[in-house]
A and B are shown apart, each in its own frame.
Chain A
């Protein structure tokens, strides 16, 4: 269990893995898992100019 850095909503790990992106179900901000034990999240990295497919 951790909290959304944007809205403080309580977030559960579920089966998420390190590095995985997900959306906060409360406020919709995009987050990234940066630890699973303990579960920790941060804002998803900001898209850069050379990012793409």
Chain B
């Protein structure tokens, strides 16, 4: 990496995570080019940016995908790369890759029409979970307890008239304790892990779940790193559930938050991300 290295940070808003990243970059003496995802423009013919590497922190899946593809086009490496974000940002594609890689996951079926979704739910059995293929923070997820509820929820989804709610990602409802597990991976390392506890069945920190540090047992570390490698690696949060048949990976997040994890574990996640970014830049 040359001394003139400039780190691009592509972002939507500055949350504590982005602020810590900017502070960690400043502490390392790195020049930073701030790239607000609602303001930058991407000429097809030329690279109009100074960044030698771009760290993606945009919360928008759509903006992330186009931007990352442009940086790839300009020959600028990104963390994470387009392929990883494209895969992990879509629950359908991510499930396929996890399954292809032998990672245990909840039983999942995808349906492409409301009628087929009803059949998928009937086949999988109730209760089940219905998720949009894109989006997170537990938004518009539904726990479906019976067929009557299924009919109503599917009707409401159809009324949203959105392409993402016209694809039905149907998953078994895993009987788990009132918690799930989040493991934060940077490169080949599991940096920190926590339980996310919530009385709500959705254990997203954004829905008020609290974090509690956990020392991952070797089998969990092995599974987490295997899942991260399966999707292409980088900076990822692997979410797992403790089910009666063992640990199941239910999500791999490609632009993970780490405010709750940092508070729960004291791990210097932002610093580790910056170490990794510098490592990638040296390649």
Contacts and interface: CB of A to CB of B under 8 A. Distances in A.
Contact of B237 (A32, A48, A53): A53
Given A19-B34, A50-B62, A45 B13 contact: yes
Interface string A16-37: 0111110000000000110000
Given A19-B34, A45-B38, A52 B15 contact: no
A53 B252 CA distance: 9
Given A50-B62, A51-B60, A53-B257, A21 B15 contact: yes
A40 interface: no
Interface in B6-53: 11-15, 18-19, 22, 34, 36, 38
A15 B162 CA distance: 40
Interface string B117-140: 000000000000000101111010
Interface string A38-49: 000000110111
B253 interface: yes
A36 to B, nearest CB: 12
Interface residues of A, number: 16
Most central of A17, A20, A32, A49 by chain B CB within 10 Å: A49
B19 A17 contact: yes
A2 B61 CA distance: 33
A45 B60 CA distance: 12
A33 B136 CA distance: 25
Contacts, number: 63
Contacts of B255: 52-53
Contacts of A51: 12, 59-61, 135-137
A19 B135 contact: no
A52 B89 CA distance: 9
B80 to A, nearest CB: 12
25 contacts: A17-B14, A18-B14, A19-B11, A19-B34, A20-B14, A21-B15, A33-B14, A44-B13, A45-B38, A47-B137, A47-B139, A49-B135, A50-B61, A51-B12, A51-B59, A51-B60, A51-B135, A51-B136, A52-B61, A52-B89, A52-B136, A52-B253, A52-B255, A53-B137, A53-B255
Interface of B: 11-15, 18-19, 22, 34, 36, 38, 59-62, 89, 132, 134-137, 139, 162, 164, 237, 253-257
